[in-house]
Copies of this chain bind each other. A is one copy, B any other.
Amino acid sequence: MRTVFYISDGTGITSETLGRSLLTQFDTTNFQEVRIPFLDSAEKAAAARLQIDAATQTDGGRALVFNTVVDPKVSSVLAASEGLVIDLFGQFLPVLESELQSKSVQAVGKAHGIGNKKSYDARISATNYALSHDDGVSTNYQDSDVILVGVSRSGKTPTCLYLALHYGVRAANFPLTEDELNGGSAPQALMRYRHKLFGLTITPSRLHSIREKRRPGSRYASSRRCSQEVAEAEMLFKSRRIPFADTTDSSIEEIASRILVALDLEKHFF
């Protein structure tokens, strides 16, 4: 067992993202995670150091410390611990400073702070948009960046929320119900915005198991109906040339990333 510390002067998201990306490359999952966000003073660092040293003693192996504290004075307290300290800023800032011929500002908590107010407000506004355009509630799609279509429980809502919260993408979604699918055609309201459509599909067996949890034993959850809906939805995507992706073995993050690429929806941070 190893204890893993994610230490940051801000939210700890960068530190956690960095650490997990590296650790998922190892077969073991015998890690005990500790997050220490908002560590912004030498005193707090000294307290963290005690924790790191204690964990190292208890585990009988050096604690792994992913450190995204900007202030070198605070950071040096951690570096003096018994843990293996992986220091993002210490490692890479000097290279960038020399390349950009500019000193870094060493400001605390920048990465996931409110940052660019305009792009931040766009994320909040997109989240409200996703909620008011969820599940076909409103079909006024003029302002949407993307409209996800798919059968019930194919993953439309979480994907829309993720696109909105992270990228400020105005994502609506529209459920393909039995009625629509029987007709073999998407509603006119949708086809006006064909260039904004993206389909989600899922294997019938996975859909069956998700629906069973919601409405056990219902016709809605039956294997037969799941197979039929999925087949018809995929047929619709192909006949209308709507790009689509399978959510069965893909995470929300992966689907969102594919949608950004497919619809060329790059929103920029700087």
Interface residues of A (CB under 8 A from B): 2, 4, 10-14, 17-18, 20-35, 37-38, 62, 64, 68, 70, 84, 86, 88-89, 91-93, 95-96, 99-100, 102, 104-107, 109-116, 120, 123-124, 127-128, 131, 155, 157-158, 161-162, 165, 249-254, 256-258, 260-261, 266, 268-270
Contacts and interface: CB of A to CB of B under 8 A. Distances in A.
A111 B155 CA distance: 20
Contact of A266 (B11, B28, B35, B88): B35
Interface residues of A, dominant DSSP: mixed
Nearest to A24: B110
B25 A270 contact: no
Contact of A269 (B13, B33, B104): B33
Residue among A96, A102, A116 facing the most chain B CB atoms (10 A cut-off): A96
Contact of A11 (B109, B124, B165, B254): B254
Given A17-B18, A21-B68, 5 more contacts: A22-B88, A22-B89, A112-B254, A113-B251, A127-B158
Contacts of A10: 254, 257
B27 A102 contact: yes
